[in-house]
Chain A
Amino acid sequence: MTGGLLVLPVAGPLLLSGLLALVHHLRPHTTRLDRVVGPAAAGGVLVFAGFLLAATSDGSVPVLQLGGWQPGIAIVFAADTFSAVMLAVTSLLVLVSLPFAAALGEDEDAAFVPLVLVLMAGVSGAVLTADLFNLFVFIEVMLVPSYLLFAAGGGAERLAAARLYVSISLMASTVLLAGVGLVYGAAGTVNLGELAGAGESSPAVGFAAAVVLLALSVKSAVVPLHGWLPQTYSRTGPAVAVLFSGLLTKVGVYAVIRLYSVVYGGTPRYLWVIMAVALLTMVIGVLGAVGEHAMRPVLTFHMVSQIGYVFVGLALSTAAGLSATVFFLVQYVLVKTALLMCAAVVEHRYGTGELDRLGGLARREPLLAGTFAVAALTLAGIPPLSGFVAKLGVASAAASAGQHLAVALVVGVSLLTLLSMVKLWNGVFWEPPAEDAEGEGTEGPAVDGGAPAVTSALGSRVRPLVLAPPVFLAAAAVVLGLWAEPLLSVSAAAGAGLADPSGWVAAVTGR
């Protein structure tokens, strides 16, 4: 595959977004076109990512020096297996999230699909670029539509969460930009290929890149910079939260992994910092989840916890650890999206995600309950589902690197994950509706007579069409668990490319 095509996953969605906005301007009140164009664009990027995966499987790195400038001056796009995997996962996610949002009626706003397309362009650009400043720009391209999507529809609580979200993101972006400036001042370049190994050899560049890593850690919500995530994602629109969970924080994670493996050359000197952060993130995230009492807050705290798992592999910085990270990231994005979709369906149909007010849905909604159960067990890492393969990979990589505390925590946090998933299962699907327990007065003012258990307001069930995306993703979790070999080999290739980035660096610098 020639490198020139690398611009397609960025330019295509941007162009279509502009055209859609134009069509909406000329002919208002038409969402039918959006429902075709949006998934078509995501599908196109997915197909492209498939070709890219095939093209990079032999270790070759397609490169585009934008504008035909010489290497070293041009802004570079480059794709290795890791980029291709991320591109595939994110576009698959958009592909299933758009029909889901349409089924929930969240795409009524004329700007919804155009904004999602801009978001997707930003994500694609961020995973393909090999230039630090360009990374900043693409993260902004991704964040600005997310600000609008976050607040769209209004409502006091959603706007309040949007204020928090925008403030935190802007703070992180400011720090990121400052870090890029410091890197340029210290190294004289922001080309990641030119910066390869500079963080290890030069303390000044190492410090400057650490500022960038700090900002990216806010975006990827690692402890102690995670507080904003459960606060905001559980208070925006359900379908929007589904979309964000798979795209925004994952780009932060991608950038941290890329930056550390290239700029620091995977030097063991700072690995203990990442390991400490990873373990703290795992433990504190899951403890936060255990303490919550509604579906989305529990699930968003688990997002934090799972990001810890992803970072354990990075902290090992071995080929085995990094491939475990890539495998974990892929399956986790799919399964977390399935879970958040289940939560979104429940909230949309029954009006709440509070465990106190739900119950007994397993009988009313067997398909939804089954999907949730499979996805929840995957998240907890029960064999034979994909979560088990992923956690086994992380644990065995940690064990072979002699990190026994990490192994113990990987297992222990899985148990706590299972515990809080069982709590969700009991609260939402299994136990009889909460009206039986009413009148005890232990739950605070929200659950007194004014707010009866919502399942008593019987009505039509969830349409099967709405459930198609989460069912598909849960099925993917089963398939990736039973037949993990293809993804394992892909993630092994990606991990090898990250552990030894010399091929990527040579392609980017043109030397």
Chain B
Amino acid sequence: MSAALVVGLLVAGGVFLLLRRGLLRIVLGFVLLGHAVNVLLVSAGGMQRRGAPLLGETEADVAADPLPQAFVLTAVVITFGITVYMLALARAGDPGATTGHPPARSDAPSLADGSDRDDADRDDATADRGRRTDASEGGAS
């Protein structure tokens, strides 16, 4: 029950942050989502048995399931690496230059002004034209 509540809260927070503008918030959202999934994995092994899963130390019926813990360990490492890479991506280049809008808003920190508007539907004619203009400007400069 408590695990389910924790997972629900973390997912809610993560999804909320994912839907915000700015890559930094999206990264934080992914961190929360990653934690949610880790709790989910641990609870998949059962929350009742908490003993250390060591032969000769703990009886088999009270020992925790070690496999989900190994899963979580692997997942934590992967999530950590990708989080760092995403932070680097958020920092790389001038984010404002890619959006088809005026360059970075001066009132906002540049790190948080990530790819928020890049996802604009490219099928949309205006967005497409804006992108093209942008590309040709980039080529000229």
Contacts and interface: CB of A to CB of B under 8 A. Distances in A.
Contact of A177 (B75, B132, B135): B75
A332 interface: no
18 contacts: A137-B74, A137-B78, A148-B85, A151-B92, A155-B93, A156-B94, A160-B115, A161-B118, A163-B23, A163-B86, A173-B78, A174-B37, A184-B71, A185-B44, A227-B121, A291-B123, A444-B129, A451-B136
Contacts, number: 116
A164 interface: yes
Contact of B68 (A166, A184, A446): A184
B140 A163 contact: no
Contacts of B40: 178, 181-182, 185
Contact of A445 (B34, B114, B129): B129
B26 interface: yes
A180 B71 contact: yes
B45 interface: yes
Interface string B81-103: 11001100110111101110000
Q: Name, among A151, A160, A161, A230, the residue most crowded by chain B CB atoms within 10 Å (CB to CB).
A: A160
A133 interface: yes
Interface in A161-192: 161-164, 166-167, 170-171, 173-174, 177-178, 180-182, 184-185
A459 interface: no
B56 interface: no
A462 interface: no
Nearest to A137: B74
A156 B43 contact: no
Interface of A: 133, 137, 140, 144, 147-148, 151, 154-157, 159-164, 166-167, 170-171, 173-174, 177-178, 180-182, 184-185, 227, 230-231, 288, 291, 297, 444-446, 450-451
B122 interface: yes
Given A178-B37, A184-B41, A185-B43, A166 B98 contact: no
B33 interface: yes
Interface of B: 18, 23, 26, 30, 33-34, 36-37, 40-41, 43-45, 67-68, 71, 74-75, 78, 81-82, 85-86, 89-90, 92-95, 97-99, 114-115, 118-119, 121-123, 129, 132-136, 138, 140
B135 A170 contact: no
Given A181-B68, A185-B43, 11 more contacts: A155-B93, A157-B138, A160-B95, A160-B115, A163-B89, A167-B23, A174-B33, A178-B36, A178-B40, A181-B44, A182-B44
Given A133-B71, A156-B138, A167-B26, A446 B123 contact: no
Contacts of B99: 160
A156 B98 contact: yes
A446 B75 contact: no
B93 A184 contact: no
Contacts of B95: 160
Contacts of A451: 136
A409 B75 CA distance: 41
B43 A230 contact: no
Q: Name, among A159, A180, A182, A451, the residue most crowded by chain B CB atoms within 10 Å (CB to CB).
A: A159
Nearest to B42: A181
A154 B41 contact: no
A151 B85 CA distance: 11
B98 A159 contact: yes
A157 B81 contact: no
Contacts of B114: 163
Nearest to B33: A174
A24 B44 CA distance: 43
A159 B98 CA distance: 8
A163 B118 contact: yes
Contact of A164 (B71, B118, B140): B118
